[in-house]
Structure 1
Amino acid sequence: MADPDGNLRSRATGKSTRSETGKVLFENPAVAAAEGGDAGPAEPGVVLPIWSSGSAGTDKQTAQSPEQPAAPSPDHTDGVESVRILDRLTSRQSQMSIRGAITGDVNFSWHHVTVEIPEQPKKNLPAKTIINDINGEVKAGSLLAIMGASGAGKTTFLNLLTDRTASVLHVNATLAINNNTVQAADIRKISSYVQQQDLFFGNLTVIEHLRIQALLRMNKKLSTEERLERVREVLEELGLAKVTNSFIGSVSGGVRGISGGEQKRLAFATEVLADPPLLFADEPTSGLDSFAAQSVVQHLRGMAESGRTILCTIHQPPSEVFSKFDQLLLLAEGRTAYLGPRGGAVSYFSSIGYSCPSGFNPADFYIYTLAVVPTEREASKERIKAITDKYVDIEKQQGIHNRPAPKPSARITKAVRELGHEHGESWWTQFRVIGKRTFLLTRRNPILIQVNIGTTIMTSLVMGLVFLGIGSEGNIQQRVQGVAGSMFFVIALTAFTGAGNIVQTVPVERPIFLREYENRMYSPYVYFLCKYVSTLPLNILLQLLASVITYFMFGLSSIAARYFIFYALVNLTVINSESIGYIISAVAGDNVAVAFALTPIGIVPLMLFAGLLLNLDSTPPYFIWLEFISFMRWGFEAAMINEWRNDTLENCTGAVQVCFPNGAAVLRSYALDTETSTIGDNVGILIGLAVGYRLIALAITMITLRVGVKR
């Protein structure tokens, strides 16, 4: 406890003491033992910044003062208080207020956390320890700043706490809620994570974005009205009510919208909709000016005071921002240099020989003190080791460092997992909400629609002029060659256009898709299905324009049924080429440049074996398989059958050159399967290939999601 003068007061004796230098000290080993374990006397002149993992507490005075909390008792309890709290978490939210019980007291602690990069003999890289045996706790109602120089392990530590550690790392850690061990995957069920990069669809308004999040992320037992009421509460809580109907905006998308600070607050609003008791944030002030940064952290301070437990990594905050935090964790070389009240850090560092100059921002001082200076590497490492060793010594004095980790509680684990099961909407709800959003985004991008329409008309007119009247003028050989060339050109151009439309949009959306998938908003199956369906209306319009222009300018058959078959084949070609685009996008991840570079590799081999550039009878045996998976081969064959089969062309009596007495002869000259193939067969194959391609794209995406590949 702290006395009115701010001195640390022993909970055992109620007496505060000071060293000769004015630093607060524990008087004797008995007092230290009362604070949590077998302890020797504190080293003279050292302030003890030790954290506590005792029972839950929500006293706001504790959260705002530099008081040192008592260290935990080494005896493990059965977690009665924790069970009571988590029982509230799993109760029916429809029978309580919107904010519900998930803002209940959750004290979060970590024990003996170690993260290592294993040895990589092939690259001649030794094993490396990123996080080295650290412990700590943050209580409900606290706002904890996690700070350290570059390479201190802040991001790795936060990723571990949020169950986002890369699969190649070796992790040894115990995480606990209210002194009861839980799995990292279970922590995600009662927490939210605000990542450093703000990812939004710029063409959505603030209220539209939050409504979508509410419909897919909040407890499914809540009614739509309750969810929308929660949206209104969050807008007010985070100061976004005045921009409710403003577009979020996107610099890359050319859409003007809300400010950077408002976007950051919107990111927090997105994560707190479900009222998580535990909130993580990675660099919440990154990219913001000092005023916007102060506003964001002030709102975090308000959320913490409402009972949430908040942990943030932050890099060299201004003094005004730094003052908003009440707890501080300093990491250096993967070890703890300090964990305790923010206000006590200056005294602690002074007590171990590192005094912050007067008028100097303490946050900057800590970073400079704990940084490895390139020109003084060895001296820096020795200084860091001395500071972190001192902190470990204090932990040992308090009996914390060697204390056994908390034990798991079956009831706590079950309660947390049942809470997780209350989230996640039905397949139909996911499809309805995401489908509506996808169509809305398409409709709000008129420039893209106009460009597609203009490009389609221009390229169709150019093709029409090149092959003008080719199907009805000239001798039969000229007609056969011209019609085949025009059919092939339409299919090839459609293939590149369809794949290109996908590879320039899907990789851009992938980071948002990954984040929403991690947040369990929807299944990848739903996302892909919505993308497939959303492209159909525009494709139908574009191919109608293209087919009307090209078909009649080419001078092809005047039979109406043949035109509609041609139109259907062009649409199927687009669907297949888009499917190839999805495969390429799945391989390229979020790299648009790589996706564009891979597009010719995915399309050209299929084009070579379409049946025009290389006679199918001449296909090398080792490439025959490409014929069968080439959608362009089946589309070209169907288009040729549609134009030539059953036609009588010329009398070949006495002919001395190549002669085509009928359409079947034309088809045989291209080694197309005229004896057994029908247009219906080819249409069925095209549909099957489209389904197969898209399943492959989905499989690649699922594999990257499951193995944790970062794209």
Structure 2
Amino acid sequence: MTEEVPATRYDLPLKQLNRIAKRPPVDIEFQDLVYSVRDSYTGTGWRQLLKSINGKFRSGELTAIMGPSGAGKSTLLNILAGYVTAGVKGMIKINDRPRQMKQFNKISAYIMQEDMIQPRLTVEESMMFAARLKLGPEIGQSAKEEVVLEVIQLLGLEKCYKTRSEFLSGGQRRRLAVALELVNNPPVIFLDEPTTGLDNVAIKQCIELLKKITKLDRTVICTIHQPPASLFQNFDQVYVLAKGNCVYNGSPEKLVPFLAQANFPCPSTYTPADYVIEIIQSHPESINLMTSIIQNGKTNMMIRKEEMLSTMGQEIVEIATVATSKDNSNPDQADIIFPLSVWGQLIILLSRTYLQMLRHRSVMLIQIIHHLCSGLLIGGIFFKLGNDASQTMAIFKYIISVNVFFMYTYVMVPVLVFPIEVKLMKREYFNRWYSLKAYYMAFTIASLPLMILCSIMFLVIVYFLTNQPLDLDRFLWFSALSIVVGLTSQGLGYFIGSIFSITNGSVVGSSALAPLLALACYGMGYRAAIEPVMKVIISFSYLRFGVVGLSTALFKNRELMNCPEDIVYCHYKNPEALLKDMGMLEEDYKIQFYIILAYLVLFRVLAYCSLKYRLTSELRNTIVFYAAKIVRQKE
């Protein structure tokens, strides 16, 4: 892409994109929408958050869902976007046909309140990665660059084109979040509180941006608490909620006459948006009255604005006609498959991840220093003890130290980092940028090179400083067992990080490691006299197999060790005597390796399943809903 971006903007937004990614206009209608959740305060009974509300949001219009805190704004937006499906009753229609979630997910975008933007990428890079993922291989690179350029110009991001996301202002981050979703020209865009945290200038720019997006029959729906007076009239439709009821549905211009009809005339010193919220909060009885007048949303006091295509030029008319062609007006026919295959997604995600990792040099440096210092520390503690027959038990402690290093290092890092990655990925995954399989493989593969390099550096240091046998096969198995323990620990960390937040995960992670370590050392010195029940229990600790594997890799089939001249008798001069006392003589380090490998696969699969459960709100909410329903029936 060229370095310099022209300052001029298109009069018609997404002109080039509508040629490349044609999208039909979409109207969203909902009838008798009811949503109930189990009362979290009492633990019994159900509480209705939405109470049989109705409404229709049309293409080419900017709709604001308003209301006081707790009115049900975000709940309604989540339901319309498909983010929440369980516990919902009523009908949702897309272009007068029942909504099919798989198709609808493909033609809609949900921009959540928190601006979770991929770090360490410039605006240009973020947009190009989004274009590569969302537009597919059939569209050439130059065409994707033109689309990105057009969207950048539309949103006024030219000045920060080469700026990395962590250095963007709040308003620029919000615009970038919108720009990323415009790349594939979705007919429907949902935004949850897009003006939160912005100053008045940024709010004005945000609302004007949303108005621009509606010019080519895009349906834009956002929640907003109380818009500034100067911008209230910019909305085409206002949908006001109060305690789960619709108390107004129509044009901003009609709100004042409506309030007068409800015997709440708006004073000239008030803005209608502020006044209706004040009435709802100070006069609870007004809710039922206004709900009755507006028929809970069935009545739409909307002023239909005439299309002004005649003033926009013949070329604009032609583009708009193509974009809204009735031949493709059925969104049910939309392609529900990702534009790229899983492998294509994987390659793009890996390139993005490696670019971010290379720019996050402090983390790489910390990991290298950590492995280097830990290797020197452990190597220094057990310096040149590897062939000393009088220090055989110290060598066994050295083996445990190596296992503990790999366990704690590779469990705690994912526990602390993975929840942040999940937050970043959540928006992209829900908006169908890529499949969870591609993301999970990319995230897993991306960490391998640095992990393996650092591990080998650590193992070389601790192996040769402690004077272990100079046997290549023995060293390779010692390294393979150690690295697979680290990878298994990493999988356990992903599993914990995919379920818990950073705070809870750090507690759970450290708590889970203590019993694993205790079981790894249980019965050492009992020979084979371990209770059958405990044999089963200790097999749940993959670290046990790591200790046994490293011990047998170092001590089995080995020549007699050197006994110092000043010591009369070395009991473990033959290292297999130690293995016999530890009950490991019959064990095979290759079998231990395969068992740890099985744990590695298990933890990775569990992490993937828990992540899918956490991200797939439909599945999660369905399970919770039916579980609560069963409890209610028993009551």
Of the three residues 201, 220, 234, the one matched with 1:310 is 220
CA 1:682 to 1:387, structure 2 compared with 1: closer, same or farther past 3 Å? same
Task: Tell me which residue corresponds to 2:482.
Answer: 570
The 10-residue stretch of structure 1 (678-687 or 188-197) with the greater mean CA deviation from structure 2: 678-687
Structure 2 partner of 1:172 = 89
Moved more, 487-496 or 534-543: 534-543
Pair 517,650 (structure 1): closer, same or farther in 2 beyond 3 Å = closer
Q: Is the 8 A contact 1:98 1:226 kept in 2?
A: no
Query: Which residue does the alignment assign to 1:384?
Result: 287
Are residue 602 (structure 1) and residue 505 (structure 2) matched? no
**Correspondence for 1:585:** 497
Amino acid at match of 2:405: L
Going from structure 1 to structure 2, the CA distance change for 1:325 and 1:697 (only over 3 Å counts) comes to same
User: Which residue of structure 2 aligns with residue 218 of structure 1?
Assistant: 135
1:487 matches 2:487 = no
**Which AA in structure 2 matches 1:463?**
I
Is the 2:248–2:297 Cα contact (8 Å) retained in structure 1?
no
**Which amino acid in structure 1 is aligned with residue 592 of structure 2?**
N
Q: Which runs of 5+ in 2 are unaligned?
A: 1-14, 302-325, 625-635
- Return the offset for 1:662: 2.3
CA contact (8 A) 2:256 2:265 kept: yes
| Stretch moving more, 287-296 or 456-465 | 456-465
- Deviation, 1:422, is 5.1
- Structure 1 residue 464 displacement after superposition: 2.1
- Post-superposition Cα deviations, 1:212-238, rounded to whole Å, max 9, x if no partner, equal 222222366434433332112111111
Distance 2:451 2:471 in 1: 24
Counterpart of 2:52 in structure 1: which amino acid?
Answer: D
* Structure 1 residue 678, shift from structure 2 partner: 3.2
Does 2:70 match 1:151?
yes
| Percent identity for Structure 1 against Structure 2 | 27
Cα distance in 2 between the residues matched to 1:136 and 1:525: 37
Secondary structure of the residue aligned to 2:209 is helix
Matching residue's letter, 1:633: R
* 2:153 corresponds to 1:236: yes
Instruction: Please state how far the C-alpha of 1:611 moved relative to its aligned partner.
Output: 4.3
Residue identity in the other structure for 2:287: I
Distance 1:645 1:393 in 2: 79
Q: Aligned equivalents of 1:555 and 1:612: distance in 2?
A: 27
Residue aligning to 1:87 = none
CA deviations 1:299-318 (Å, max 9, x no partner) are: 11111123212111101121
1:195 aligned residue:
112
Q: Partner residue of 1:132?
A: 51
| Equivalent residue letter for 2:221 | L
Deviations along 1:72-125, one digit per CA (max 9) or x if unpaired, are xxxxxxxxxxxxxxxxxxxxx99x9535431x43333222222223579x9553
The answer to whether 1:467 aligns with 2:390 is: no
Q: Does 1:536 align with 2:455?
A: no
Q: 2:536 aligns with which of 621, 625, 631?
A: 625
Contact 2:188/2:218 (<8 A) preserved: yes
Query: What's 1:647 paired with?
Result: 558
Task: Give the deviation of 1:612 after TM superposition.
Answer: 6.9
* CA 1:397–1:317: 2 relative to 1, 3 Å: closer
How far apart, in 2, do the equivalents of 1:608 and 1:393 lie?
62
**Which one has a bigger Cα radius of gyration?**
1
- Bigger drift between 177-186 and 268-277 goes to 177-186
Task: Indicate the larger mover: 573-582 or 511-520.
Answer: 511-520
Q: CA separation in 2, counterparts of 1:559 and 1:134? A: 75
Equivalent position of 1:33 in the other structure: none
Displacement after TM superposition at 1:638 (Å): 2.4
Determine if the alignment matches structure 1 residue 428 to structure 2 residue 347.
Answer: no
Partner of 1:295: 205
The reply on whether 1:160 has 2:79 as its aligned counterpart is yes
Q: Which amino acid aligns with 2:64?
A: A
1: distance between equivalents of 2:427 and 2:90? 25
After superposition, the CA RMSD in angstroms is 3.0
Whether 1:109 and 2:20 are equivalent positions in the alignment is no
Change (3 A) 1:111 1:248: same
Which residue type is aligned with residue 548 of structure 1?
V
Secondary structure (helix, strand or coil) at the match of 1:129 reads strand
Q: Which residues in structure 2 correspond to 1:260-279 (within 5 Å)? A: 260-279=170-189
2:452 maps to 1:545: no
> For 1:130, what is the secondary structure of its paired residue?
strand
8 Å contact kept, 1:240–1:262: yes
Amino acid across the alignment from 2:607: A
* Counterpart contact for 1:484–1:612, Cα < 8 Å: no
Which of 704, 707, 710 lines up with 2:614 in the alignment?
Answer: 704
Whole-angstrom distance in 1 between the partners of 2:559 and 2:453: 34
Tell me the secondary structure at the aligned position of residue 90 of structure 2: strand
1:467 to partner: Cα distance = 1.5
- Using the TM superposition, give the Cα deviation of residue 431 of structure 1 relative to its aligned residue in structure 2, in angstroms: 0.8
| CA spacing shift, 1:484–1:100, aligned 2, 3 Å | closer
Deviations 1:174-200 (A, max 9, x none): 222333333355433322111111111
Partner residue, 1:366:
276
8 Å CA contact 1:611, 1:637 repeated in 2: no
Q: Could you tell me the TM-score, scaled by structure 1's length?
A: 0.76
Q: Is the 8 A contact 2:112 2:427 kept in 1?
A: no
Structure 1's 397 and 185: CA in aligned 2 closer, same or farther, altered over 3 A?
closer
Find 1:343's aligned residue among 253, 257, 278: 253
Using the alignment, how far apart are the partners of 2:517 and 2:297 within structure 1?
71
Q: Relative to structure 1, is the Cα distance of residues 565 and 396 closer, same or farther in structure 2, using a 3 angstrom cutoff?
A: closer
1:281 aligns with 2:191: yes
CA distance in 1: counterparts of 2:570 and 2:337, whole angstroms = 73
CA distance in 1, matches of 2:299, 2:63: 23
Which stretch shows the higher mean deviation, 178-187 or 681-690?
Answer: 178-187
Which of the pair is proportionally richer in helix? Answer: 2
Summarize the Cα distance change of 1:412–1:161 in structure 2 as closer, same or farther, 3 Å threshold: farther
AA partner of residue 410 (structure 2):
G
Alpha-carbon distance change, 264 to 301 in structure 1, aligned in 2, over 3 angstroms: same
| Aligned CA distance change for structure 1 residues 352 and 660 (closer, same or farther; 3 Å) | closer
| SS, match of residue 165 in structure 2 | coil
Query: What is the alpha-carbon distance in structure 2 between the residues aligned to residue 235 and residue 346 of structure 1?
Result: 38
Could you tell me how far 1:292 is from its partner in structure 2? 0.6
- Cross-structure match for 1:457: 372
Q: Secondary structure of the equivalent of 1:237?
A: helix
TM-score relative to the length of structure 2: 0.84
Mapped to 2, the partners of 1:107 and 1:267 lie a distance apart of: 23
C-alpha deviation, 1:441, in angstroms: 1.7
Matched pairs, number: 579
User: Aligned partners of 1:518 and 1:563: how far apart in 2?
Assistant: 46
Task: Report if aligned partners of 2:113, 2:196 keep a CA contact under 8 Å in 1.
Answer: yes
Letter in 1 for 2:69: S
CA, structure 1 residues 495+650, in 2 after alignment: closer, same or farther (shift >3 Å)?
Answer: closer
In structure 2, C-alpha distance between the alignment counterparts of 1:612 and 1:453, rounded to whole Å: 33
Measured in 2, the distance between the counterparts of 1:467 and 1:651 equals 16
CA distance in 2: counterparts of 1:393 and 1:130, whole angstroms: 14
